């Protein structure tokens, strides 16, 4: 596991542009969100984590969050938001991404007959990473595919659910559109993580949760069922937030997550998305 350190007490108050050109190797890129978080993308080495995705076919699975940390906490992930489409791992074959400011675009890769592209953007108004997964169907016939999002956390098998949309219970279920994950039920030692997987009134919600904690598996695995019409595109949009390693941070994470329960997302979460793109996001109702 790679460990990265930040100077204690240094606050990241604004999103600072990264001074590298497009097509820079992904392993050299940090996506900094304004406020207090850094999302570190990389190609994940097979076997470095407990997730299914990284071990498929001996290939490197792309992760937009190889690790994540704030100015006072770290070790949020051992690989986050790994992607499978119909059992095929999303792999960045040339180890390059198109970086524009705090947004990194990777792909397209062909999975299950679809052209799949990932665009991850660190939002400058909060410690939030927005992940847009684009599925393009080049054929005339519609395709229905299972899309899996899987995250391995840095807590090393001690993950617990500290909050969810329906109730602050011990498990994450498919009825919850968001979940807060920590490494301890009382005193977190790693960065606290929030995921928002779908919005109110969405057509495509989480269809299945393979593991929602707690058990010996350190991965959270969620599955969508997405239909992509012929000669068309559909998108999934996910949000990940990082917080410090305190009980106060857990409370803050739960409070912030309630913003994902509203029927309409705030404009700060939709910055940079075109009207055409928003119209084809299937797991949020943005009309």
The pLDDT mean for the chain works out to: 80
Rounded average pLDDT over 209-232: 79
Residue 20 forms part of a structural domain: no
Give me the domain span that covers residue 90: 26-279
Q: Is the pLDDT of residue 7 over 70?
A: no
pLDDT band at 13 (very low <50, low <70, confident <90, very high): very low
Rounded average pLDDT over 70-85: 88
- The structure tokens listed for 115 are 């052209």
Residue 11 forms part of a structural domain: no
Residue 228 forms part of a structural domain: yes
Within 10 A of 248 (CB to CB), how many other CB atoms are there? 10
Within 10 A of 80 (CB to CB), how many other CB atoms are there? 30
- CB-based contact 34:41 (threshold 8 Å): no
Residue 14 forms part of a structural domain: no
Q: What percent of the chain has pLDDT over 90?
A: 39
The domain tally of the chain equals 1
Residue 157 forms part of a structural domain: yes
Q: Is the pLDDT of residue 35 over 90?
A: no
- The structure tokens listed for 269 are 């979460």
Q: Is the pLDDT of residue 276 over 80?
A: yes
Question: What one-character DSSP code corresponds to residue 16?
Answer: P
Residue 1 forms part of a structural domain: no
CATH number at residue 257: 2.70.98
Q: How far apart are alpha carbons 105 and 95 in whole angstroms?
A: 12
- Of the candidates 169, 161, 26, which has an alpha carbon nearest to the alpha carbon of residue 93? 26
Q: Is the pLDDT of residue 73 over 50?
A: yes
Q: How far apart are alpha carbons 56 and 6 in whole angstroms?
A: 33
Please enumerate in sequence order all residues whose Cβ is within 8 A of that of 94, keeping only pairs 6 or more positions apart, or say none.
none
Q: Is the pLDDT of residue 274 over 50?
A: yes
């Amino acid at each position: 596991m790679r460990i990265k350190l930040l100077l204690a007490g240094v606050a990241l108050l604004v999103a600072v542009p990264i001074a590298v050109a497009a097509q820079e190797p992904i392993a050299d890129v940090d996506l900094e969100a304004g406020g207090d978080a850094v999302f570190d993308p990389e190609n994940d080495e097979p076997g470095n984590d407990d997730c299914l995705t990284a071990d498929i076919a001996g290939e490197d699975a792309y992760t937009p969050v190889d690790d994540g940390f704030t100015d006072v906490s770290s070790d949020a992930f051992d690989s986050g938001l790994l992607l499978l489409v119909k059992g095929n791992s999303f792999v960045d074959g040339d180890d390059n991404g198109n970086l524009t400011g705090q947004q990194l675009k990777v792909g397209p890769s062909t999975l299950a007959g679809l052209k799949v592209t990932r665009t991850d953007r660190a939002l400058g108004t909060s410690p939030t990473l927005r992940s847009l997964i684009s599925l393009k169907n080049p054929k005339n016939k519609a395709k229905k595919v299972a899309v899996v999002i899987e995250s391995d956390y840095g807590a090393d098998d001690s993950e617990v659910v500290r909050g969810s949309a329906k109730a602050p219970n011990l498990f994450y279920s498919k009825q919850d559109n968001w979940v807060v994950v920590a490494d301890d039920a009382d005193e977190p030692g790693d960065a606290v993580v929030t995921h928002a997987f779908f919005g109110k009134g969405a057509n495509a919600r989480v269809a299945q949760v393979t593991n929602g904690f707690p058990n010996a598996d350190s991965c959270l695995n969620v599955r969508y069922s997405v239909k992509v019409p012929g000669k068309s595109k559909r998108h999934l949009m996910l949000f990940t937030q990082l917080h410090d390693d305190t009980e106060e941070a857990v409370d803050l994470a739960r409070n912030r997550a309630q913003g994902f329960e509203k029927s309409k997302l705030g404009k700060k979460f939709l910055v940079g998305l075109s009207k055409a793109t928003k119209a084809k996001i299937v797991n949020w109702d943005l009309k």
